[in-house]
Structure 1
């Protein structure tokens, strides 16, 4: 039986709850990659990060929601660091676990995402987060 969001909040009292991406389809696709062990990192625009009230912290937990806004897994943040879009390495792109795992694919898809968000610039600052899968719901 799957745990509800309220039950997970009881189990992980300080956990954040959020979904990847900017659409239900992307949220489900990326959460599936996390559950499969292929996605162990994510990133976001520093401008967006600074505007958020709650932020992941190393050692902290996040309840990941799918495109239906249902909890599907819990991750634990293992690291946070700043980088720039134009300084993302092939190794960093691979950690995100998306597409063919190449830097070219990463740049293409993330540029599209950040353009939709209105934050894209080739030298934009990113918060890069690494994490480990703590629990599958």
Structure 2
């Protein structure tokens, strides 16, 4: 069951832009409360402007890839709506080819490529556990860039 704040945010957003209300997908970043809540705050601050699940996670979960123009509600760990984001770009890139510029867009830690590689390498091991996929330097990463279109 979705948090009432997600429904309220969708209603308010579509009312503001004078379009028929519709339900948007909602989710939080990461796989733990501390990181999910920190990332949600970084998005609100305009620091975090990208996210990077593995393509293999999408394949194993059946979750469709984002595409430019997609709207999603970002929540905190508890499921409370934080903002609505719009996907502006999606590229699939091997892990080893992620650039420092892209790591900076992710906005986490010190925003360096080395930080991105370290924390994401650990994350992909957790994300892919039980899927039959094993993280590698060539694994495909879905690099999704977004912008906030409706903050709380």
- Quick check: TM above 0.5? yes
For the 8 Å contact 2:74–2:82, the answer to whether it is kept is yes
For the 8 Å contact 1:16–1:62, the answer to whether it is kept is yes
Could you list the runs of 5+ residues in structure 2 that have no partner in the other structure?
Answer: 15-20, 129-133
Query: How far did residue 54 of structure 1 move?
Result: 4.5
**Structure 2 residue 80 is the aligned partner of structure 1 residue 70:** yes
For the 8 Å contact 1:77–1:129, the answer to whether it is kept is yes
Question: What aligned pairs does 1:45-60 form with structure 2 within 5 A after superposition?
Answer: 45-50=54-59, 51-60=61-70
1:30–1:89 CA distance, 2 compared to 1 (3 A)? same
CA RMSD in angstroms, aligned pairs only = 1.6
Tell me the equivalent position of 2:138: 123
Could you list the runs of 5+ residues in structure 1 that have no partner in the other structure?
Answer: none
1:52–1:25 CA distance, 2 compared to 1 (3 A)? farther
Highest Rg: 1 or 2?
2
Question: What aligned pairs does 1:1-137 form with structure 2 within 5 A after superposition?
Answer: 4-10=5-11, 11=14, 13=22, 15-50=24-59, 51-118=61-128, 119-137=134-152
Query: How far did residue 7 of structure 1 move?
Result: 2.1
- Which ranges of 4 or more aligned residues in structure 1 deviate by more than 6 Å? none
Greater per-residue strand proportion: 1
Query: How far did residue 116 of structure 1 move?
Result: 1.4
1:18-69 Cα deviation digits (max 9, x unpaired): 1100112111010111000000111111011223344432111110010221
Matched positions, count? 135
Distance 2:23 2:87 in 1: 13
For the 8 Å contact 2:7–2:23, the answer to whether it is kept is no
SS of aligned partner of 1:81: strand
